[in-house]
Chains A and B, each alone.
Chain A
Amino acid sequence: MSETMEPDITVDSRGATCPGPLMDLIGKVKQSDPGTVIELQTSDDSSKSDVPDWLDEAGHNLLEVVDQGDYWSVYVETA
Chain B
Amino acid sequence: MSEHIVIVGGGTGGTVLANRLADKLGAEIDSGDVQVTMVTDSQDHVYKPIWLYVPFGKKDPADARRPVAELVDRRVDITYDRVTGIDTDDKQLSLADGPAMAYDHLTLAMGVELVPDEVPGLKEGGHHFYGEDGATELRDAMAEFTEGHLVLSVIGVPHMCPAAPVEFVLMADDWLRKRGVRDDVEITYTYPIQRAHGIQSVADWATEEFEEKDINVQTFFNADEVDPEEKVLHSMEGKELDYDLLVGIPPHTGSELVTEAGLGDGGWVDVDKHTLEATAAEDVYAIGDVADVPTSKAGSVAHYEAGTVADRIASKVRGQVPTATYEGKTVCFIEAGMDEATFVEFAYGNEPTVRPASTPVHWAKLGYNESYWLTARGLL
Q: Do A and B come from one complex?
A: yes
Residue of A nearest to B198 (CB): A19
Return chain A residues, CB-CB under 8 Å to B308: none
A17 contacts partner chain B, Cβ-Cβ < 8 Å: yes
Q: Are A57 and B198 in contact (CB under 8 A)?
A: no
B353 contacts partner chain A, Cβ-Cβ < 8 Å: no
- Digitize B218-245: 1 where CB-to-A-CB distance is under 8 Å, 0 elsewhere: 0010101000000000001110000000
**Do A50 and B238 form a contact, CB below 8 Å, given A16-B294, A20-B294, A30-B222?**
no
**Do A23 and B238 form a contact, CB below 8 Å, given A18-B198, A30-B224?**
no
A68 to B375, CA, bound (A): 46
Residue of B nearest to A16 (CB): B294
**Do A58 and B238 form a contact, CB below 8 Å, given A15-B294, A19-B193?**
yes
A76 contacts partner chain B, Cβ-Cβ < 8 Å: no
Closest beta carbon of chain A to B225's beta carbon, Å = 11
B156 contacts partner chain A, Cβ-Cβ < 8 Å: yes
Q: Are A50 and B294 in contact (CB under 8 A)?
A: no
**In the complex, which residues 3-52 of chain A have their Cβ closer than 8 Å to any Cβ of chain B?**
15-20, 22-23, 26-27, 29-30, 50
A10 to B238, CA, bound (A): 25
From B193, B237, B294, give the contact of A23 (CB < 8 A).
B193
Closest beta carbon of chain A to B116's beta carbon, Å = 15
Return chain B residues, CB-CB under 8 Å to A53: 194, 220
B156, B224, B236 pick with most chain A CB within 10 angstroms = B236
Q: Are B220 and A23 in contact (CB under 8 A)?
A: no
Return chain B residues, CB-CB under 8 Å to A17: 294
A22 to B193, CA, bound (A): 8
Return chain A residues, CB-CB under 8 Å to B158: 20, 23
Residue of A nearest to B238 (CB): A59
Return chain A residues, CB-CB under 8 Å to B194: 50, 53-54
**In the complex, which residues 181-236 of chain B have their Cβ closer than 8 Å to any Cβ of chain A?**
192-194, 198, 220, 222, 224, 236
B324 contacts partner chain A, Cβ-Cβ < 8 Å: no
Q: Are B236 and A23 in contact (CB under 8 A)?
A: no
Q: Are B224 and A23 in contact (CB under 8 A)?
A: no
Return chain B residues, CB-CB under 8 Å to A20: 158, 294
From B156, B193, B220, give the contact of A27 (CB < 8 A).
B156
B344 contacts partner chain A, Cβ-Cβ < 8 Å: no
A26 to B198, CA, bound (A): 15
B157 contacts partner chain A, Cβ-Cβ < 8 Å: yes
Residue of A nearest to B349 (CB): A17
Return chain B residues, CB-CB under 8 Å to A59: 237-238
Closest beta carbon of chain A to B177's beta carbon, Å = 31
A29 to B224, CA, bound (A): 11
A53 to B219, CA, bound (A): 12
Return chain A residues, CB-CB under 8 Å to B238: 58-59
Return chain B residues, CB-CB under 8 Å to A26: 156, 192, 222, 236
A20 to B296, CA, bound (A): 11
Residue of B nearest to A58 (CB): B237
A16 to B220, CA, bound (A): 19
A19 to B222, CA, bound (A): 13
**Do A50 and B222 form a contact, CB below 8 Å, given A15-B294, A16-B294, A30-B236?**
no
From A16, A29, A30, A54, give the contact of B193 (CB < 8 A).
A54
Return chain B residues, CB-CB under 8 Å to A29: 236
Q: Are A54 and B220 in contact (CB under 8 A)?
A: yes
Return chain A residues, CB-CB under 8 Å to B198: 18-19
A57 to B222, CA, bound (A): 11
Return chain A residues, CB-CB under 8 Å to B193: 19, 22-23, 50, 54
What would be 7 A-B contacts, judged by CB atoms less than 8 Å apart? A19-B198, A23-B156, A26-B156, A26-B236, A50-B193, A57-B220, A58-B238
Q: Which residues of B contact A (CB under 8 A)?
A: 156-158, 192-194, 198, 220, 222, 224, 236-238, 294
